[in-house]
Amino acid sequence: MNLRRLGSIIIKELRQLRRDRLTFAMIVGLPSMQLVLFGYAINMDVRHLDAAVLDQADTARSREVVAQMGATEVLEFRYHTSTPLELEALLRSGSISAALVVPQDFERRMEDPGRPPLQLIVDGSDQVIQSAVRQLGAFAVRGNVGWTTRPPPVEIVNLYNPERRAPINTVPGLIGVILTMTMVLYTSLALVRERERGNLEMLIATPVSPWELTIGKVLPFIGIGLVQVTVVLLLGKLLFDVPVRGGLGDLYVAALVFIVASLALGIFLSTIARSQFQAMQLAFFVFLPQILLSGFMFPYAGMPVAAQWLAEILPLTHFLRLVRGIMLRGAGLMELWPSLAALGVFIVVALGIAVSRVHKRLD
Amino acid sequence: MDAIDTSPAIRARSLSKHFGPVVAVDGLDLTVRRGEVYGFLGPNGSGKSTTIRMLCGLLRPSGGDIDVLGFKIPKDAEALKRRIGYMTQKFSLYEDLTVTENLRFLAAVHGLPRAESKARIIQTLERYRIADLKTRLASTLSGGQKQRLALAGTVLHAPDLLFLDEPTSAVDPQSRREFWDSLFELADEGTTLLVSTHYMDEAERCTRLAILDHGRIVADGAPGELMSSLPGRTLLIESRELPRARQVLQGLPTVIAFAQIGASMRVLVADRDGVESDLLEALRSSDVEATIHAAAPNLEDVFVAATQKPPMPRGEAA
């Protein structure tokens, strides 16, 4: 091994790297982003879960217990409902993650050590929320009574996933993760490839319009995305018995909107990347926060406000709300409209920026 | 048949293009008449590709006016694109499609009616001798085959005007000759062609040509005209000490340029009486033995005189 030759290769490599400005930025950008996301945003200690109260006893003691429960800061009571139906609707639409029910015979139950005086209903479609609420099961309703309290004072009702099976929580989210990964990457690569290989120069000298070119290249991927959704759903059903409680049509509409949003993101990235390698890096760069902040891996409720704002921009966050709502809670698209609207806004903005950057010229 | 249109196919006035501080094309005036095979001769970086791209509407000029087939460019570039064919320097069809698939795609992109396009593709495959290759992937073709496919794709929609940017830079001499025969066939059928090249022999075959240097046209006309109006004379110097002869002559004000050709040297000198004897004198006083003959001017001499630079190597890419 000749050191001078080796050195010259190293120097050449560093020079080339320095001139690939995007790659250079990624060397610093990726670890910084990961550190910030993991360090600040990811917090398994969930607090301030949106919750509702249904106080059917409505006595001085029951109001006191509700206030004490709120003081734990695990639950944030945003709604006071008067019927179980209202509670159910709030849970199904994803407006709340948990609900505290004080039964009519609360006072009598308080005197009966054999029966739990309170009931906590938790949205089991999110695993982390499940376990966060579970700790409230030992909440000392009757004062500090220690070992004598059996069964636990708060009965936890795990809605939507009573057996707490992991696949039921993961599979719906996985649809979103798989679509994000493939749709964004495929489109940005496909569009950049055309430019990198010189096909674009030939094409722009023909009567093809930039819209025809972009839409024509991207449309086949919508079909591919829908095939992927079907594969995950079928395997989820066959292998893990994951249910689809809402409408299958609703689910496919949600998936379609999400696919289009991901494609729009891919098109936008392709207008920045100069090579397929850069496109791949950019796709990874946007994939990471989607996985970490969307609520797929870590709870949205545990994130600081800034991270939550960022999560609201990401299409995967909204798709997870849609897909969990439809598949596990049996919600309809109309109940979940805010997430659908957010995806719509994302599509319009991303496509708008992308199209303003695609000229049918070389300069 | 269309009525005979006598207006020029291409007319550009004070065309220029800047890329940041770099001036790629600098106040270029150009007129190409219909039915011509017009050549752009120039070294790499002389602005040939940039000019062609502006004329097709792919690049926006920094200044000047362009009129191509009666369309104002860049304003009417989209309308022009139906009437022109543009063959890029680099092979730009899809390597992962077959020959026929590529042509079908181009026929559709250019909006050829379905029924017409089928016959047209078969005819084009035959004409450019790629019918035997029609199920082959473009990536598996040789340089010459790829180039015939590229030309087939460029003329599929029967354009009135063809732009070819260094079309022969990646093929062997045999393919180059055949390719130029194809170009003349197209010209005979009434197509106007603008071809850029850095090969002298190709430039010599054009009906008219412009020599580009640093983004300007430094000479233009028919090759014969350019050679006969050469602003100087060509001398052939034979000597056993060519490097020294060159050193001696380099300092003389009457000498415009040199080119060594084998064991002799072509020297372009100012057209003045007694130049030969001046040169001989200078050589003799430096003890260099040499003989001087007059030589017939060629295009390379024109090129050298126009660009004041050593010419491009003959028959090889610069």
Q: pLDDT tens digit string along A63-74?
A: 888 888 888 888
* Whole-number average pLDDT of chain A: 86
Average pLDDT over residues A20-35: 84
Average pLDDT over residues A226-231: 95
Name the β-bridge partners of A122: A98, A158
Residues of A in contact with B90 (CB under 8 A): 198, 201
Q: Do B86 and A205 touch (CB under 8 A)?
A: yes
Scan residues 36-55 of B and list those with Cβ closer than 8 Å to A. Answer: 53
The candidate with the shortest Cα–Cα distance to B47, out of B211, B223, B222, is: B211
Same domain, A194 and A272: yes
For B39-70, what is each residue's pLDDT tens digit?
A: 999 988 899 999 999 999 999 999 999 999 99
Same domain, A245 and A320: yes
Which has more pLDDT, A298 or B181?
B181
Q: Reply yes or no on whether the pLDDT at B270 is more than 70.
A: yes
Confirm if A207 and B110 have CB atoms less than 8 A apart: yes
Lowest mean pLDDT among A171-180, A242-251, B230-239: B230-239
Same domain, A146 and A98: yes
For A136-163, what is each residue's pLDDT tens digit?
A: 877 766 554 444 445 567 888 888 888 7
Same domain, A123 and A175: no
Q: What's the topology of domain B10-226?
A: Rossmann fold (3.40.50)
Residue A282 has, within 13 A of its CA and on its CB side, a CA count of 24
* Whole-number average pLDDT of chain B: 88
Instruction: Provide the pLDDT for residue B148.
Output: 94
Q: For chain A, what percent of residues have pLDDT higher than 70?
A: 94
Residues of B in contact with A198 (CB under 8 A): 88, 90-92
CB pairs under 8 A between A and B: 50
Tell me which chain A residue has its CA closest to the CA of residue B154: A202
Is the CB of residue B110 less than 8 Å away from at least one CB of chain A? yes
Question: Where residue A354 falls among pLDDT bands split at 50, 70, 90?
Answer: confident
Q: For chain A, what percent of residues have pLDDT higher than 90?
A: 33
For A83-120, what is each residue's pLDDT tens digit?
A: 989 998 999 888 898 899 999 888 888 887 778 888 88
Is the CB of residue A199 less than 8 Å away from at least one CB of chain B? yes
Average pLDDT over residues B284-307: 85
Confirm if A190 and A147 have CB atoms less than 8 A apart: no
For B28-39, what is each residue's pLDDT tens digit?
A: 999 999 999 999
Same domain, A102 and A225: no
Distance (Å) from the C-alpha of residue B161 to the closest C-alpha of chain A? 12
Instruction: Provide the pLDDT for residue A126.
Output: 78
Confirm if B163 and B86 have CB atoms less than 8 A apart: yes
Instruction: Provide the pLDDT for residue B312.
Output: 43
Confirm if B196 and B211 have CB atoms less than 8 A apart: no
Same domain, A337 and A294: yes
Task: Report the DSSP pairing between strands B63-68 and A118-123.
Answer: unpaired
Same domain, A224 and A332: yes
**C-alpha–C-alpha distance, residues A124 and A245, integer Å:** 14
Residues of A in contact with B105 (CB under 8 A): none
**C-alpha–C-alpha distance, residues B262 and A70, integer Å:** 98
Residues of B in contact with A360 (CB under 8 A): 78
Residue A154 lies in a domain: yes
Is the CB of residue A112 less than 8 Å away from at least one CB of chain B? no
Same domain, A224 and A93: no
Same domain, A128 and A172: no
Q: Reply yes or no on whether the pLDDT at B3 is more than 60.
A: no
Output the CA angle A59-A61-A66, nearest 5 degrees. Answer: 95
Distance (Å) from the C-alpha of residue A181 to the closest C-alpha of chain B? 25
Instruction: Provide the pLDDT for residue B315.
Output: 39
Residues of A in contact with B93 (CB under 8 A): 199, 202
Taking the model in full, what pTM does it have? 0.81
Scan residues 198-257 of B and list those with Cβ closer than 8 Å to A. Answer: none
Residue ranges covered by each domain of chain B: 10-226, 231-296
Given A131, A159, A187, which residue is the final one in a domain? A159
Instruction: Provide the pLDDT for residue B4.
Output: 59
Is the CB of residue A362 less than 8 Å away from at least one CB of chain B? yes
Instruction: Provide the pLDDT for residue B253.
Output: 81
Confirm if B75 and B231 have CB atoms less than 8 A apart: no
Q: Identify the CATH number of the domain in which residue A86 sits.
A: 3.40.1710.10
Tell me which chain A residue has its CA closest to the CA of residue B90: A198
Is the CB of residue B161 less than 8 Å away from at least one CB of chain A? no
CB burial of residue A137 (10 Å; 0-12, 13-18, 19+): middle
At the top level of CATH, the class of B231-296 is: alpha beta
The kind and range of the H/E element at B28 are strand B22-32
ipTM score here?
0.79
Given A159, A187, A210, which residue is the final one in a domain? A159
Q: Do A207 and B110 touch (CB under 8 A)?
A: yes
Instruction: Provide the pLDDT for residue A140.
Output: 66
Q: Give me the number of domains chain A comprises.
A: 2
Same domain, A346 and A203: yes
Same domain, A228 and A336: yes
**C-alpha–C-alpha distance, residues A95 and A133, integer Å:** 16
Tell me which chain A residue has its CA closest to the CA of residue B91: A198
Q: Reply yes or no on whether the pLDDT at A134 is more than 90.
A: no
Residue numbers of the domain that contains A208: 166-357
Q: Reply yes or no on whether the pLDDT at B25 is more than 90.
A: yes
Domains B10-226 and B231-296 belong to one CATH topology:
no
Instruction: Provide the pLDDT for residue A10.
Output: 92
Given A133, A159, A185, which residue is the final one in a domain? A159
Q: Reply yes or no on whether the pLDDT at A233 is more than 90.
A: yes
Instruction: Provide the pLDDT for residue B1.
Output: 45
Same domain, A232 and A139: no
Residue A272 lies in a domain: yes
Sign of CA dihedral B119, B124, B127, B128: negative
| Option in A202, A207, A363 nearest B59 (CB) | A363
Q: Reply yes or no on whether the pLDDT at B160 is more than 90.
A: yes
Q: Do A205 and B110 touch (CB under 8 A)?
A: no
Selected residue of A211, A213, A359, A363 to mutate for chain B interface (largest B Cβ count, 10 A) = A363
For A239-275, what is each residue's pLDDT tens digit?
A: 998 989 999 999 999 999 999 999 999 999 988 888 8
Q: Do A361 and B60 touch (CB under 8 A)?
A: yes
